[in-house]
Structure 1
């Protein structure tokens, strides 16, 4: 497999110097993220995150169901579009009760801790994988505590050209840090033991999704 030098990696992404003043202006002006019913997405409330494309677009996001105790756990997209995956909660850095676009978030699967790895189910950007050339999204992050030590734990929800949403990684929780900036897409990862899996990773081609409140699904079933 091809490998990339540190210089090439830095050139592959935008470098961003974050400041506290610009961060708070951004949060104040950000529009709320909406679910498929047009309601504001709320902090700490459970949602399914599913593909905006129906049919061949695949299903929702889930933890690595093939883990067998291997850590960290991968963030996957289920292959069937009828499978909504595992519920997620969102925790904005500003502790607002409403999740806003372009705001740094912790993203956490429910339940918040994994019995497999004995670690958190909060997303983080893993170390660069030279064998695949990817920055994979995994779990095991610390929730909260914004700053240099948690830089890889913060993601954003952005509008995807008026058609659903996309995840991005461009944290602004550290005023003096340099960070990678890119969207989050989905790639096929061929594991010699586990087979092909659709994993989340940094990408110039974002994966587009919509959010469904889990209580809505429960009410429909009932």
Structure 2
């Protein structure tokens, strides 16, 4: 009898601890913040600007490499230039059933308030420039290397939405780097495809012929902040 009561007490204690642990896990998923301390909203434009000024470069934009026909993402050299605004759109189960036109509508510059979603850290998401129909994509260096260095650059060739094997190179994550200020980095380690073999890394800056191209790296990262578009630094 005593043994049964003891086992029952342990089970009750285990369930109680589990129920207390669940909210703690959820609370670890923090919202991504802009420089004003506001939560980032899906579909709203933001500048990605270097967290460190004084010669460390400015915001991100796009251009074409010397040996590439595909537009590539780069950091501008002037710390006074915020670059081109980007729009973020997080993955969701419903995205698997929507077509490309709806995804583009939901990431328009003037989204419907009913469709607004908060961007959270370490969540798979698409990134695209507000004036471009395609999203950021990690280059497959085995098929079409854009430079002799074989770096996996970030290019503009991905189609939005439809998480799975065919789009695995289109998904990125925002990770916080500083607890005291909203400094972030972009990581490439998508979880939209369980069967895909992905070589993870952070998005860093690769210097090539005076250009600052964004590429996947195991040793570099690009610390930045989000500045809401149409607002001063």
1:205 matches 2:217: no
Compared with structure 1, are the counterparts of its residues 36 and 202 closer, same or farther at alpha carbon in structure 2 (3 Å cutoff)? Answer: same
- What residue is the counterpart of 1:147 in the other structure? 164
Report the count of equivalent residues. 180
Uncovered stretches (5+) of structure 2, i.e. residues with no partner: 1-24, 96-115
- What residue is the counterpart of 1:111 in the other structure? 131
Q: CA deviation at 1:177?
A: 1.6
Partner of 1:135, secondary structure, is coil
Instruction: Tell me which of 140, 150, 165 is aligned to 1:127.
Output: 140
Q: CA deviation at 1:215?
A: 3.1
Matched residues in 2 for 1:180 and 1:35: separation? 29
Instruction: Tell me which of 142, 166, 179 is aligned to 2:185.
Output: 166
Partner of 1:149, secondary structure, is helix
TM-score (norm 2): 0.71
- What residue is the counterpart of 1:214 in the other structure? 229
Higher relative contact order (CA 8 A, sep 6+): 1
Partner of 1:140, secondary structure, is strand
Matched residues in 2 for 1:32 and 1:98: separation? 7
* CA-to-aligned-CA distance 1:38-58 (integer Å, 9 cap, x gap): 000100100000000011111
Structure 1 residue ranges (4+ consecutive) displaced by more than 4 angstroms after TM superposition: 26-29
Q: CA deviation at 1:67?
A: 6.6
TM-score (norm 1): 0.75
Rg: which structure is higher? 2
What do you get for the CA RMSD once the two structures are aligned? Answer: 2.3
Matched residues in 2 for 1:27 and 1:175: separation? 22
* CA-to-aligned-CA distance 1:71-119 (integer Å, 9 cap, x gap): 3101010110000000100000027701111001100002123xxxxxx
Q: More helix per residue: 1 or 2?
A: 2
